[in-house]
Structure 1
Amino acid sequence: MSLNEKEWFIEAPWGRLSIVAWGDCFDPPVLLVHGRVDSAATFRPLLKLLPRKFYYIGLELPGNGRSDPFPPGLMLNAYDLVYSLRVVVKHFRWEKFVYVGHSLGTLLGKIYNLSYPDEMTQVVELDPTPMLFSVAPDQFASWYHEYFTKFYNKYDKFNAPKETAPLYTKEKAIDMLKTTRGLTDEAAHVVLERISEPAGEGMISLTDEAAHVVLERISEPAGGGMIRYTFDQRIKMSTTPPLSAEQKEKLFTAIPTPTLTIVAETSLQYGYYDKTPFALDEAAYPAKNYRVRKVAGNHDVHVSYPERLATYVHQFLLYGLDGLDNKAKL
């Protein structure tokens, strides 16, 4: 599709949310929600390959892209972020809409769908690894310290204004995005030590072109040929509900909305789905409304290699489950 973008802001209780739109506002709406430290721009490569019969709205979550952050101070959680979806739905007065989420965006979609049932008509989940993060009862203390204790131990860092952020050349920032995106701080440092070494697709999270797309809306010039990141540092530590795998299975498999889940093979190899096998098992959903498609690539395959999944998403948007099951009259 032609990527004629329109961008504006809508008001939320804490500030402005950035909206990026593609298509005709009279067509059925599709809400696109990205993951941590990201922006609506990362959907551009995929949208070029999707049908023009929809109005695509990309929300930039608070503190991401060009959206205002939440007020400084307390740490963030998924429930805070979900309300930004509600702000968008109310602004457009949607009664029904299609939802497409990536990474953390898939979890936010699940929570929204559970909280506001019957609004989402179809759901596309692009490698929903954060949605599947589970906490067994005997792991609760570790979960608490990993997030809350760590956050308050580094309170000044996570609440520092963007003007104090480290400065990088654009080339360095691109290399960092290509190799450390989605990793913890500790893991990122390990990878950065090897940043000049050859790396295969499993190591490279983003292609060079895709990294430029990502960087565009999460950074700004800082003078002297340098740039700095502008995202809210608290996004890195935003918590997800500490539910067990059994609890998530009971919740998620009961959702009746037709759902297409795209799973990246590298995420499978890393074992991200090992504790939640229901996410790969279509038979685990009593309503028979769930389909899984596996594609070569890593967590950001929709940005770097959108052609690998575009056909599945295209067919699902136009024909629903029948499109995936080859039952649609094309």
Structure 2
Amino acid sequence: MVLLEKEWYIEAPWGRLCIIAWGDCCDPPVLVCHGAKDSAASFRPLIKLLPKKFYYIGLELPGNGRSDRMPGGLMLGLHDLVYSLQVLVKHFRWDSFVYLGHSMGCSLGYIYNISYPGKISKIIQLDPITMGFAVPADRFPLWYKMAIARYFENYERYNRSNNDKRTYTREEAIDKIMKRRGFTEEVAVETLVRVTEPAGDGLIRFTFDERVNLVTYPPMSPEYLRKLFTEMTIPILTIIAEESKNRNRYKDVPFVFDEDSFPNKNHRWRALPGGHDLHANNADIVATIVAPFLLHGVAGLDNKSKL
């Protein structure tokens, strides 16, 4: 059975948010959130392989996919984007839901969870490399330069209109997405139609809000981040791409690899082959871990490992 897919918009204070829904709205909800400069379409390969007992809602964050940008000029912070999740939750009047995020979407999930406690029942993180942006005290000057000063020093670039962006042929744009993300051509084409617009003369241009490249993360120390994350009480699954692990992207948050660091014994992690976008490029492998966790939480993974 193939899940029915629908797409529509919901209203936020600054404009419209685009969502893609898969499945039956009467089933338990799963909020699906992508990372920076992406769209909900990148989850299609994975959603096709997950249990049909859930209602999957893919949110396209402001300035990504077909969602409207937030007001121009201002910097975008992680906490600003978290409110996009709340707009969706209020729209559907969910009492609780499962959260499935990728990359920056993972950070949005755990910030939402501590901001709106009791709403998320389980959280699934797919290569949450943005968790590795912990800021030790001696690196605060570097954080300020990279997160704040760089924005104002390149203000025009980050606030340029789509009309000022470079144009591409369709083939060039597909090739760019495939090289940047490692996507198959099929996934690249599905993504392309959501992140580009016609530019005349048969050319197209990307429509991402440039500020998405520089979303500001709060300068949390590794110790503070550890406390926030390990004290969550809900079941947590973290899937790490082996390529990201080997590139030492988690060096400031080693607790992710230590399940005993979680006093509630509620966290499981798995390293899987592939790169950062393994949810799209290695969906079959990812689904074998995500599916039992969706159905049974931590027990689903523990029982699976004993078979």
Q: Same fold (TM over 0.5)?
A: yes
| Alignment-derived partner of residue 129 in structure 2 | 129
**Contact 1:65 1:218 survives alignment (8 Å):** yes
Q: Secondary structure at the match of 1:64?
A: coil
Counterpart code for 1:160: R
Aligned with 1:247 (options 221, 224, 229) = 224
**Contact 1:110 1:252 survives alignment (8 Å):** yes
| Alignment-derived partner of residue 254 in structure 2 | 277
Q: Secondary structure at the match of 1:309?
A: helix
Q: Secondary structure at the match of 1:215?
A: helix
Q: Secondary structure at the match of 2:303?
A: coil
| Alignment-derived partner of residue 67 in structure 2 | 67
Q: Tell me how far apart the structure 2 counterparts of residues 327 and 105 of structure 1 sit (CA, whole Å).
A: 27
List runs of 5+ in structure 1 lacking aligned partners. 182-204
Per-residue CA deviations over 1:197-242 (Å, capped at 9, x if unaligned) read xxxxxxxx32333322332311122222211001100000111111
The residue correspondences of 1:1-330 to structure 2 (distance < 5 A) are 2-181=2-181, 205-326=182-303
Q: Tell me how far apart the structure 1 counterparts of residues 248 and 187 of structure 2 sit (CA, whole Å).
A: 25
**Contact 2:126 2:279 survives alignment (8 Å):** yes
User: For the aligned residues, what is the CA RMSD?
Assistant: 1.6
Counterpart code for 2:166: P
Q: Secondary structure at the match of 2:172?
A: helix
Change (3 A) 1:212 1:327: closer
Q: Tell me how far apart the structure 1 counterparts of residues 178 and 40 of structure 2 sit (CA, whole Å).
A: 18
Q: Percent identity?
A: 54
**Contact 2:131 2:250 survives alignment (8 Å):** no
Displacement, 1:29? Answer: 0.5
| Alignment-derived partner of residue 192 in structure 1 | none
Displacement, 1:178? Answer: 2.6
**Contact 1:3 1:44 survives alignment (8 Å):** no
TM-score normalised by L of structure 1: 0.90
Displacement, 1:327? Answer: 6.7
Displacement, 1:171? Answer: 2.1
Change (3 A) 1:21 1:83: same
Displacement, 1:118? Answer: 1.2
Q: Secondary structure at the match of 1:315?
A: helix
**Contact 2:3 2:52 survives alignment (8 Å):** no
List runs of 5+ in structure 2 lacking aligned partners. none
TM-score normalised by L of structure 2: 0.96
Q: Tell me how far apart the structure 2 counterparts of residues 170 and 297 of structure 1 sit (CA, whole Å).
A: 27
Q: Secondary structure at the match of 1:118?
A: coil
